[in-house]
Amino acid sequence: MIAALALAAPAAADPPPLYKAKCELCHSIGGAGGLKKDLGGPLDGVGSKRDEAWLRAYFADPKSKIDGAKMPKLPLSAAEWDEMVAFMLTLKAAP
């Protein structure tokens, strides 16, 4: 999976296609994002702020982790969530 991710995301500046298709609308990375990027906000550094278990629980049911969460439960496959969790964990805060 790490190898697959490396192929899909050669650099942090070039997020995987799945992120662009399903997530970028409401989020930004490095200031670049979609039409509603201020709704979900920047994901820069989220891989330092959250761990894998938190991310998986949040994606399965956002309200279980954040009261009144506005991020919808998205219909991704298990493999797609694996890819997105792995990608989130590459977004480390700048040292």
Binding site for ligand HEC (CB under 6 A): 22-23, 25-27, 36, 39-40, 43, 46, 49-50, 55, 62, 66, 69-72, 74, 76, 84, 88
Instruction: Tell me how long the chain is.
Output: 95
Helix (H) or strand (E) holding 87: helix 78-90
Q: Tell the smallest beta-carbon distance from residue 81 to ligand HEC (Å).
A: 8
Q: Report in angstroms how near the CB of residue 65 gets to ligand HEC at its nearest.
A: 8
Do 24 and 43 meet the contact criterion of CB atoms below 8 Å apart? no
- Residue 43 Cβ vs ligand HEC, minimum distance, rounded to whole Å: 6
Closer of 9 and 23 to ligand HEC (Cβ):
23
34 near 25, Cβ under 8 Å? yes
Cα dist from 72 to 56, 62, 68, 94, whole Å? 14, 7, 11, 28
